[in-house]
Structure 1
Amino acid sequence: MQTPTSFSETTAADVRRHFALTQTELGRWLGLSQAQVEAVEAGRRNFSPKAEARLARLVDVLPPAGPGLPAPEALPVVPPPAAQTGREDREAVLLRRRVRRCEHLAHGLGFQLETWALQDAAVLRRRQGLAALRLALAAPPAASVSGAAAVAEAVWLARLEAATAALPPRPGPLARAHLALRQRLLLAEAAELRRLLAAPVSLPPAPAPGV
């Protein structure tokens, strides 16, 4: 692959996206600061020839079909509960209050589960990016790469591996199942209470005349 004379912000962003790198981590590879990488990606400046050559080493191993690991699927948007009509007596007020409480708690549990899913996807992309980097940099460096540069590459990769290994442990399946069960029970209770609120109110029979 021929080395281009300049790189747009899309190229640098594609490299970061494919290998799941932050701007700071890519900057260490290029010998630049995070602010300099951000400025290039925003189109406010260009890379120096030395940084272009460093970036080209990663660009050369991008897949031809298009860079980037598969993005996680978008989470479904949960519509807000529809307004319900029902009895306005004290019992109905208490039931409505409980419905709101159940749905509020269920929403919080659902948000926690969605957050865990997004964090899982981010950790997976990070590990996939690190594996792709190991594979890409496993080939012997070109003759033009000095021994000091090769050592710097190894140190950079080791820092990425250490940062990935230091990621906090993810919640286990038991914790996730517990939250999902609590959410289902709360939603089931709210649905049952809404059914009771929507049921017609049966009035007691009118007393017979003279009673």
Structure 2
Amino acid sequence: MGRRSFYNGSSSGEVRRYFGLTQEALSEYLGLSRATLANVEAGRRFMSGQALSYLRPLRQLVPDGWYPPYPPPTEPPPAAPDAKMLRARIAECQHLARQLRWELQGVHMRLVVARHWQQALPALLAAEPLAPSSEDLARLPLMRDWLRYHGARAAAELDGYAAAEYHLRVARAEALETEAAALRRLLPEAPPAP
């Protein structure tokens, strides 16, 4: 294993990933603040000589070319997952997905109502009382303000928040459903009935 350069934060980042450390844990070992280590890893600061001397022995244990998403093929496969834990997580994913799908109905209804307001508001604002009394004429500005207020609320729903909320919930529900399906594939097959 050759010598490595310690001038940037990539070494500390590799050490953290290899040993499963947080920035806080490694910075404590190196005698740095977490913010300093974050700045070193972001390339905004250099690590002190003393911190480098503490990091060097850890860094030398990290194999060349090691990267966390792809473990070396020499490592044994992980143990078979516990079926009970898998079933519990599947049930949790399904429950959360059903809850999100149920909440989607409310968000969808808010969007439908907002569209109704958007379509009806111009006609409502232009409408005049059929046989206006003096009381009706006095209330007309208040009624139009009320209509504008509710029309603005509806426009705000359509301008993004509710639509974004809707799509985020759909994405979360789909992710949970995908996770449950992937976990079901990990479950051991049940033995055939006698």
Q: Scaled by the length of structure 2, what TM-score is found?
A: 0.44
Q: Scaled by the length of structure 1, what TM-score is found?
A: 0.41
Larger C-alpha radius of gyration, 1 or 2? 2
